[in-house]
Chains A and B, each alone.
Chain A
Amino acid sequence: MAVIDIKNVTKKFGDNTVLNNITLELNDEISAILGPSGSGKSTMLRCINGLEPIQQGDILVDGVSVKTRSNLRRIRKTCGMVFQQFNLFPNLDVIQNVTLSPIKILGQKRASAEKHAHSLLEKVGLLEKARHYPAQLSGGQQQRVAIARALAMNPKILLLDEVTSALDPEMTADVLKILESLAGEGTTMIMVTHEISFARRVSKRILFIDQGSIAADMPTDAFFSVDDQRIQKFLQHVG
């Protein structure tokens, strides 16, 4: 069974069709979603964890449908999500950001949640910032905390929506290094990114979305050698 099974999904905002009859299966691997701005990449990720409702079709996450509202919390425990703008909780310090949900939702004991948080913060290189507040951190550091926060819930899948787009090149490198090491550990990731060379290096599969449709879905090597006008133009455009 596919980890995520997207079946004939159509998503509209009013009259604007943003995802147009998409069907695809995502498995235990690393997939990159590429495509021009406004093509529906973020919307697709948001439909997968039910932050956006879909109008037609169905999405099954680990066999559970997003169309039943009472399934959503379960689906969101399966899919961790990291956003472009980090979205840390500003009133909580780093360790609280990371431990809040494991304690409140998974029912972990504070001590064990903090122990896990420490190992995650060590992994993202921010153990010494555990007692800092988000406002005291750089964008790159905040995003690394956001990754630790998502991982603290032990998700099966990590949804990453342009997690380096708001960062300068140096911070981008820090964050990509962490994602690459997660990839090395076998974490399933579905990432929307404009970091083409990164996508090429770590992902097994590329999905190219254009105007709400899957314009290409192929193994990474094939994608970068395919003779397709639209893809060539996109690749030239993003560098």
Chain B
Amino acid sequence: MDGSQFFFTEKATELSYQDLIFMLNAAGTTLAATLFSLLIGTLLGFILGMITTFKIPVLNKLPYIFIEPLRNSPLVVQLFLLFYGLPMLTKINFSKWQAAFITLGCNTAAFIAVIVHASVAAIPQHQWESAYALGHSYASSFTHIIFGQAFRIFIPPALNIYISQLHTSSLLSFIGFMEITHAG
């Protein structure tokens, strides 16, 4: 504790005003890019999560091929695989920031998909049946009756995911993805 405190105070005194502006700018850019990847991840997660709620055998299990590996491995490992592994196997070569935000987006999508599935599954069957009995189609039942109820269930766990991803991305940018990959 003492050591690190010393380290930070020593460094801090050496920071100029320009350094601070630069860091805030960088932090702002990181934040904007992170929010963007969370947004893309949420959209993708919503689509995947919805597919898992369909009562169509096989199809409704396919998204888990994508979801489970991403949920069950460390994000840093996913990042390394995308940044180092992919160029070895293919001609695709992402910049480190591209790799970081694709990883963050896909990882977010996996978690969001599971939350979407759970939120929709939590709505009692009789809500669907009442909607059907009134003449609604599947799509109409979902958009007008189920979605609003499921959305309330979705919010708290989704916020947890977003906060945790923000932590991860700020950590990545702080320690410098550059340095841990020796890619600079």
CB distance from A113 to the nearest CB of B (A): 13
CA distance A77 to B145 in the complex (A): 17
**Is residue A189 contacting chain B, with contact meaning CB distance below 8 A?**
no
A90-B149, A91-B152 as given contacts; A101 in contact with B126, CB under 8 Å: no
Q: Which of B143-163 contact A (CB under 8 A)?
A: 144-145, 148-149, 152
CB distance from B183 to the nearest CB of A (A): 49
Stretch in A81-89, A162-170, A178-186, A225-233 with 4+ CB within 8 Å of B: A81-89
Of all chain B residues, which has the CB nearest A90?
B149
**Is residue A132 contacting chain B, with contact meaning CB distance below 8 A?**
no
Scan B134-146; emit 1 where CB is below 8 A from any A CB, else 0. 1111001000110
By the criterion CB–CB under 8 Å, are B130 and A83 in contact? yes
By the criterion CB–CB under 8 Å, are A76 and B132 in contact? yes
CA distance A88 to B135 in the complex (A): 15
Return the contact of B144 from the options A80, A88, A104, A149 (Cβ within 8 A): A104
CA distance A21 to B134 in the complex (A): 28
By the criterion CB–CB under 8 Å, are B149 and A76 in contact? no
CB distance from B156 to the nearest CB of A (A): 16
CA distance A154 to B149 in the complex (A): 27
Residues of A within 8 A of B148 (CB): 91-92
Scan A185-212; emit 1 where CB is below 8 A from any B CB, else 0. 0000000000000000000000000000
**Is residue B170 contacting chain A, with contact meaning CB distance below 8 A?**
no
By the criterion CB–CB under 8 Å, are B136 and A101 in contact? yes
Of all chain B residues, which has the CB nearest A152?
B134
CB distance from A168 to the nearest CB of B (A): 21
Using a CB–CB distance below 8 Å, which chain A residues touch chain B? 49, 51, 72-73, 76-77, 79-81, 83, 85, 87-92, 100-101, 104-105, 149-150, 153
Q: List 17 A-B contacts (CB under 8 A).
A: A73-B135, A80-B134, A83-B129, A87-B126, A87-B127, A89-B127, A89-B130, A89-B145, A89-B149, A90-B149, A92-B145, A101-B135, A101-B136, A104-B144, A105-B134, A105-B135, A150-B133
Using a CB–CB distance below 8 Å, which chain B residues touch chain A? 126-127, 129-137, 140, 144-145, 148-149, 152
Q: Across the A-B interface, give the 4 residue pairs with the lowest CB-CB distance, nearest first.
A: A87-B130, A81-B133, A101-B134, A91-B148
